[in-house]
Amino acid sequence: MDDVLIRSFREKFGTPPEVYSSAPGRINLIGEHTDYNLGYVLPSAIHLHVAFLASGRTDGIVRIWADNFKQEKSFSLQQDVEARRGGWIDYVKGIFWVLSKQGASLRGIDAYVWGNIPLESGLSSSAALEVSIISALDVLFKLGLSPLEIAKLAQAAENDYVGVKCGLMDQFVSVFGKKDKAVFLDCDTLAYEYIPLRLTREDLGILVYDTRVPRDLASSAYNKRRSEAMGALERLREYGIQTYKDVTLSLLDEKKNELGETYYKRARHVVAENERVKKAVSALRDDNFHELGRLLFQSHKSLRDDYQVSCPELDLLFECGKKSQSCLGARLTGAGFGGSGIALIRKKDIPSFKMQVSDEAQRRGFVTPACYEVEIGEGMRTQIRVK
Ligand code: GLA
Q: Nearest to residue 316, comparing CAs of 360, 369, 372?
A: 360
* 273 CB near ligand 1 (under 6 Å): no
Nearest-atom number in ligand 1 for the CA of 158 is 8
Q: Which portions of the chain are predicted below pLDDT 70? A: 1, 217, 386-387
Is the fold of 2-193+377-384 the same as that of 198-374?
no
Residue closest via CA to ligand 1's atom 11 equals 335
* 35 CB near ligand 1 (under 6 Å): yes
Task: Give the model's pLDDT for residue 86.
Answer: 81
* 33 CB near ligand 1 (under 6 Å): yes
Coil, strand, or helix at residue 338?
A: coil
In the chain, what are the domain boundaries? 2-193+377-384, 198-374
Task: Give the model's pLDDT for residue 151.
Answer: 98
Coil, strand, or helix at residue 158?
A: helix
Coil, strand, or helix at residue 198?
A: coil
Using alpha carbons only, what angle is made at residue 16 by residues 20 and 385, rounded to the nearest 5 degrees?
50
How far apart are the CA of 385 and the centre of ligand 1, in A?
Answer: 34
> Mind listing the pLDDT tens digit for each residue in 106-161?
999 999 999 999 998 999 999 999 999 999 999 999 999 999 999 999 999 999 99
Q: Are strands 109-115 and 61-66 parallel, antiparallel or unpaired?
A: parallel
R_g of the chain computed on alpha carbons: 21
Annotated active-site positions, please?
A: 170
Residues pairing with 123 in the sheet: none
Phi first, then psi: what are they for 193, rounded to 5°? -145, 145
Specify the amino acid at residue 51: A
Task: Give the model's pLDDT for residue 132.
Answer: 98
* Among 117, 169, 309, 310, residue to substitute to test ligand 1 (most atoms within 8 Å of Cβ): 169
Nearest-atom number in ligand 1 for the CA of 164 is 8
- Contact present, 148 and 102 (Cβ < 8 Å): no
The answer, as to whether pTM is greater than 0.85, is yes
Look at the domain 198-374 and name its fold: Alpha-Beta Plaits (3.30.70)
* 313 CB near ligand 1 (under 6 Å): no
Task: Give the model's pLDDT for residue 1.
Answer: 59
Nearest-atom number in ligand 1 for the CA of 168 is 9
Look at the domain 2-193+377-384 and name its fold: Ribosomal Protein S5; domain 2 (3.30.230)
Task: Give the model's pLDDT for residue 331.
Answer: 98
The span from the CA of 283 to the CA of 329, in Å, is 13
Task: Give the model's pLDDT for residue 386.
Answer: 61
Residues pairing with 374 in the sheet: 206
> Mind listing the pLDDT tens digit for each residue in 316-368?
999 999 999 999 999 999 999 999 999 999 999 999 999 999 999 999 999 99
How far apart are the CA of 4 and the centre of ligand 1, in A?
Answer: 32
Cβ neighbours, 10 Å, residue 45: 30
The span from the CA of 246 to the CA of 3, in Å, is 51
The span from the CA of 121 to the CA of 214, in Å, is 9
The span from the CA of 199 to the CA of 355, in Å, is 22
* 158 CB near ligand 1 (under 6 Å): no
The span from the CA of 348 to the CA of 360, in Å, is 20
Q: Are strands 340-346 and 204-210 parallel, antiparallel or unpaired?
A: antiparallel
Specify the amino acid at residue 175: V
